[in-house]
């Protein structure tokens, strides 16, 4: 089983260099599911018993803060 997952990860890293490890993929899938279908559905699909386990994957607040930061950053206003 370890060889199979290693082979899958190797092929993924060749095709998608931004993939770090298999946990990274799981995290991305849970985050996308939470955004599209809601926390409860993501919790069931991820196999989490408690909602707090799923809410760790929420990134909405951080994305909004990044957008605000980008809009107000001095280098962004100078178009550099």
Say if 4 falls within a structural domain: no
Say if 11 falls within a structural domain: no
10 C-beta neighbours (distance < 10 Å), count: 9
Which residues span the domain enclosing 58? 20-77
Show the CA angle centred on residue 18, arms to residues 71 and 47, nearest 5°.
95
Model pLDDT, residue 44:
92
Say if 13 falls within a structural domain: no
Say if 14 falls within a structural domain: no
Model pLDDT, residue 79:
61
Say if 68 falls within a structural domain: yes
Model pLDDT, residue 5:
86
Say if 26 falls within a structural domain: yes
Weakly modelled stretches of the chain, pLDDT under 70? 1, 59-62, 74-80
- The tokens for 50 are 């408690």
| Three-state secondary-structure class, residue 23 | helix
- The tokens for 23 are 């946990």
Show the CA angle centred on residue 69, arms to residues 68 and 72, nearest 5°.
85
The total number of structural domains in the chain stands at 1
Model pLDDT, residue 65:
74
pTM over 0.85: no
């Amino acid at each position: 089983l370890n060889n199979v997952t290693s082979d899958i990860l190797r092929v993924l890293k060749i095709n998608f260099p931004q993939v770090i490890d298999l946990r990274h993929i799981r995290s991305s899938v849970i985050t996308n599911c939470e955004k599209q279908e809601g926390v409860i559905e993501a919790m069931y699909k991820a196999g989490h018993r408690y909602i707090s386990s799923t809410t760790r994957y929420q990134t909405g607040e951080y994305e909004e803060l990044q957008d605000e930061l980008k809009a107000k950053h001095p280098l962004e206003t100078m178009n550099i």
